[in-house]
Structures are given as C-alpha cells and as structure tokens.
Amino acid sequence: MSLMPKKVKFRKAQKGKIRGISTRGAHIRYGEYALKALENGIVKSNHIEACRVTVARKLKGAGTLWINIFPNKPVTKKPAETRMGKGKGDLDHWVANVKRGKVIMELSGVPEDFAKVVFRLLSFKLPIKTKFITRAGH
C-alpha cells in the first residue's frame, strides 16, 4: 500500500527546489528518540513504508513510532523512449520534501541503545543523511 493524499487541489505539480532549514518540526514532539534529517531531499512513499515495516518487525509490538513526514507531492514520469513534447507525463509516485533539521521519525517506549539500532536500520532505507537525537540532548 502506497502512502498518498486522499485529495489534492492539483493533479500534477512542478518540481521546485528544496532549499533552507526546517524550522517547523525541528524538535522532538512525541517520542523520546528521533531521526533528524541532515540534508535536503525527497523521500518517496515507498521509503517511508519500508521504514514503517522495518520498525514493526524490529519492535515486535513494543514501543511507539511516529512518522512526521507525509508524501503529499506528486511526481510525474514519461514512458521510456518517448519523444519530447506531447505534454507532461502521467503521475508516477508521491514524495515528501524534507529540509535539513526536520525530525522525520520519533520513537518511545524502548531503551536508548535499542532505539539507536532501530534508527540505524532506518537510515539505510532513506535516501538522505540522518542523525539520531534524544529529547534530552537535541
């Protein structure tokens, strides 16, 4: 199951640029430990889903995970070996724009060393550099 919005104002969006530092969502809100983005980039819906599945398998029912990003931007793609022109391509997937400093995921209800292990596994599944932070020492 792919994450995507129920309804959008416009079916296709322009690419845009991801610049600057995240000011909103730059601190831990819910959990004790978190994964923070160290660079700007896009995270696809299947990356988020892969992270969610990994955590669910690793936690085995213990602890709570909060995902603070949502893929609300559509990305289009033209078919392979298609000539230029003839309009914008069809919708291919959804992405979340992530600025550096954004807290991507939060975790609580588990020991710190275990949380570090879990977030290390998650960092391999994400296309951006991240770091582990705690509520005590931002």
Q: What is the CATH number of the domain that holds 102?
A: 3.90.1170.10
Let me know how long the chain is.
Answer: 138
User: What are the Cα distances from residue 64, in Å, to 9, 11, 24, 27?
Assistant: 32, 34, 22, 17
Whether the pTM exceeds 0.75: the reply is yes
Residues 33-90: pLDDT tens digits? 999 999 999 999 999 999 999 999 999 888 999 999 999 999 999 999 999 999 999 9
- Indicate whether 100 belongs to any domain: yes
Domain that holds residue 98: 33-77+89-134
- Indicate whether 27 belongs to any domain: no
Q: Any alpha helices (H) in 12-111, and if so which ranges?
A: 45-59
Tally of helices (H runs) and strands (E runs) in the chain: 2, 7
Residues 79-102: pLDDT tens digits? 999 999 999 999 999 999 999 999
- Indicate whether 9 belongs to any domain: no
- Indicate whether 46 belongs to any domain: yes
Nearest to 51 by CA among 39, 38, 34: 34
- Indicate whether 13 belongs to any domain: no
